Structure 1
Amino acid sequence: MPNFNNQKIINDLQNQFLKKDTPDLKIGDNVKIGVKIVEGNKERVQFYEGTIIAKKNSSINTTITVRKVLQGIGIERVFLVHSPKVASIQVLRSSKVRRAKLYYLRNLRGKASRLKQRFN
């Protein structure tokens, strides 16, 4: 019985499915994410635009939590960055933040929830 390195096999398999064209995502970035949606036998791309308030890095399981405010109600959605359902990710603007998680935005209303723009 040959000795296989299980972790190496798993990593090689995961690397096949990693997306190479993802932009550098940071907390506080305003992003526009294209999500593939199947309706009946048709497939279309629906865009979801909001601010990244949390990010979890773990190779293929990297997730971002995106928050947008729609008609005064905050909506948060978690996206798997390397998922085949995510068609595109576009960074619209970056913000200057000093935290790793922006959960405090949940309690702020209106202009108070604005973030200062970062110019590179």
Structure 2
Amino acid sequence: MTEAETITTVMRALADPTRRAVFERIVEADEITVVELTRGSTVTQGAISQHLKTLKQAGLVCERPEGRNVFYRAEPRGLEPLADWMSHYGVFWRDRFAKLKNLLKDIDP
């Protein structure tokens, strides 16, 4: 998968608000099962499983089977392509904020 495809996959995975909420709950927990994710949600267990599949394919979560349960945890490296892509635009914003700061100083010394 190319870098652009990886970034697109991560963005698509996090674009869905329900999936993003599932991911945030996983990030907050050390590990969490589908049952626990379903318990605190208005979404069915089947839908949670589908969201987890998408998050796993995007490299955002990993799983650890234990008996009848599968535990999910966040995979921090999964966000690296997105963070790298965003850092490229950070230069643009830093420059803009510096110009705004100078403009505001000129307006109100």
- Measured against the shorter chain, the TM-score band is under 0.3
Give the structure with the larger helix fraction. 2
Give the structure with the larger strand fraction. 1
* Larger of the two Rg values belongs to structure: 2
User: Normalising by the residue count of structure 1, what TM-score does the alignment of the two structures yield?
Assistant: 0.25
